[in-house]
Every structure is written in C-alpha cells, then in structure tokens.
Amino acid sequence: MSIPDHLTGSYLRLLTEWTDDEIHVITKRLDEGTAHPMAVKRILASEVVAALHGLDAAATARAEFTARFSKRSFGETLNLPVIALNDHAEDTLGTLISRTLDFAPSISAVRRVALQNDLRLIRESDGDQQTTQLTEVSVQQTLGAVVSEAGALDGAGLYLKVGRKVARIDV
C-alpha cells in the first residue's frame, strides 16, 4: 500500500502476468478516478503473494491485512509475534521491545517512540478496543506491572503496539 499511486501501472507490468491492454485499462481507470488505488494495490499484492507463496498464502495475507488495517482488529491476525506474560513478566518494557521483539534498535529508541505517543497497550474484546497510552516511564516498568495497571482482562486479547508493529501478549 505504500507504493505511490502513479507507479501502480509500472508495478503491474513488472510483477504480474497481466497483458498490456489490461494494464492500460486499469491505469486509465485510475487516472479517471473510476478505480480506487487501494483496491488495485490489493489486487497487485494478492497476485505477488500468490505467485511467490501460493493461493492459500495470498488469501491468508488478504484476510490479515483486512483485519489489521481495515477493521483495526488484531484478534483475527495470525502472524503476530507472541509474548507470554509468564515468561516475560519481569522484563522491562524497553528490553522486551528492543531485544526480545526487536521492534526498536535500542531502549533509547523505545523511549523516543513513547515520547511520540506511539507506544500503546491495547485491550480488545468483541471488536471493542481500549487503548492505554504508555509513557516514557512505562519503558522502565516490567511487563507484569504494565499489564496489571491495565486492569482486569476478563478474557480480552492484549496487544502491545510500538509504532506500526504489534505483538500479542498471552496472559
């Protein structure tokens, strides 16, 4: 989705087996505004994944993209890294994010993410999300302390979001 809209035709030429006529029709529709760039990019992504990994992988990737970015629901996403609370309760959040998950190059980088208000603990239950903004102080707290401050889980899914990266916390 991050490729510029004006390069979609080039990507279709390079990465798919579409004919020149098919590509011309879709690029014309993009130029006229009768085709949405995101819809075309989804088709492109699906074709590339199918060519490299097969149709089942393409269907899975499409479903995960929809769950994660369109529905903004992490419960249906299958390929998230998982952190077991029992194993990492005593690890500080900074260490967990930078060393265990490798979501940031250093603890200082994790602090910067927190200062940018991009470090969150997300509680998801039945499609409803509750977000707890984590601060620079949270980076030095243990995962157990951060989770306990979030309150009772009552069967809700728990996720740690660091910028655009997300990990599931198994409680």
Given the DSSP bridges, would you call strands 82-84 and 165-170 parallel, antiparallel or unpaired?
parallel
pTM above 0.85, yes or no: no
pLDDT attached to residue 127: 67
pLDDT attached to residue 61: 80
84-99 pLDDT, tens digit each: 999 999 999 999 999 9
pLDDT attached to residue 117: 92
Q: Residue 108 above 80 pLDDT?
A: yes
Higher pLDDT, 151 or 104: 104
